[in-house]
Structure formats: structure tokens, C-alpha cells
Structure 1
Amino acid sequence: MDGPVLRRAAIGTAVVAAAVLGFTVAMLLPGDDAARADRPTTPAGAPVEAADGVPPGEADPDGAGTLREGDSGPAVVELQKRLLRIPDVYVGGSTDGTYDAVLTAAVARFQLWYGIRGDETGVYGDDTRHDLEARTTPAAG
């Protein structure tokens, strides 16, 4: 092969690699429009959702005790401490008890890396909880 052919092949390979990397990163970032599109909207005067994102009187599809962005408290601290024990999932993450965008991304990363399918991406539901608890010990006080 001569120089121009190799150069074109290298450029083509770089473009494909960049596209794959960009797609992968986009799938892990919270707050994209596609994720919001499948969330129901609340018309004016309708019942407001509870802090866990589930309308009053309805069971959470991800299981009782599900945690998601916007939640806070001791259960979130427990989740944060457990995720810190999984290499490279929540590096330098906070244990402040706030389920923020960084924690959502860490939960999504954990789900992706360990093939957890039963919960919404970035949501700490029953399937994610069982897998994380099987891989870690309870958080120390």
C-alpha cells in the first residue's frame, strides 16, 4: 500500500472510533432529551409525583425502596459507599447522601459494566441493588 491509501484508512478508522466513543459517552450521560421523552408529563392540576418520581398510589416499577436522582438520605449514603468499593465506577464520588447527576452516571456505569437490565438506566432499583449488594459488604458506619 502507498502513503495516500494508508492515510485514508487511518482517517477512516479514526472517524469510526470517534463515533463509537461519542455514542458510548452519550449513552452514559444523564439528562439527555431522549431520556426525558419517555417520561410522562404532568398536566396542570394533576397530582404531583412523590420525591421518588412515582405518582401517589402507584407502585414503583423498579421495586419498593428504589432510589433515583433527586432522592437523599441514609439509603443514598449506603449506595454511595457501596459504589466506592467497585473499582472505577464512582471514583472520588461524594458520600453526602444526595442522589445527583454524578451518582446517576455512576449507577448507569455500574449497570452497563455488569449487565444489569431490570431497572431504568441510572436508577437504583431491585435488580441493581441485589447485584451491588452481592459484590460489596455493608457500608461501615
Structure 2
Amino acid sequence: MTSYISHTTVDCADAFTLSRWWQGVLDWAEDPDDPNEPGHEECLISSRDGRHKVLFIEVPDVKQGKNRIHFDLRPAEGTRDEELARLLALGATEVGDLRKPDGGGWVILADPEGNEFCILRSEEEQAAWSPVAAQDA
């Protein structure tokens, strides 16, 4: 017997607003038969194929420290730095920059409620990087 992850839950102060923000980041959708609305204390969004879900639940507690679990995002198209610019324009905040001179690394961001997440290089950038090329540089 095994288990599987039904969905990931994010505690927050404003479920509707945060779910809408993440919808824009991920290009995910809500259930048309149960749409998220202002004032809802629970708001669910899903990947377009329905395989992945994130549930935002309002809680009275304020965020107190670093997240113990977080999302690592990879751009679906374009580069890490282009996606970084897009996310900052959407309202993310840069928390830490761990990019390396060879192009590796990532950037730590926070969503509008302070939940940390990382932006990695795109698959194309990752595939183009070669340890041999990095040694020759």
C-alpha cells in the first residue's frame, strides 16, 4: 500500500488573492464548477492537466520564519532571468540571489504573503550547460 500527494496546501491570510497571484505565475486554472471568489477561505487551483493542485487556506497565524517546504519553479519557456523579471513585475520579492558565474544556481523569491520559492534555469539552459564548457571558461 502507498500514498500519493492529493494537493499541496499553502496557509495564508487571503486565499482568493494569493490563489489568483499563483494562477498568473503558473498559468493554472480553478474548477469552473467551483470557482474561487473573494471571501472564500479555501481556494484551489490546478495544473492544466489536472494532475497537480495547490489549495490556499486562510489561517489566523502569521508567517513566522522560513518555509520548511517550498516550490522550485522552472520557466516553461524563455530563460531563468526573463522569468525572474516577469515574477518581480507580478509582485514577487527577491529574497536571495544564488546564481553562479557559470550560469548555474537559482534565485529565491517570496510571493505577496512572504512564502519563499525558487526560480531555476529553464530546461534548455540546463541542457546547454556543460561541465567541460564551464571548465574551459
Higher helix share: 1
Question: Given the two structures, how large is their TM-score scaled by the length of structure 1?
Answer: 0.25
Q: Larger % of strand: which?
A: 2
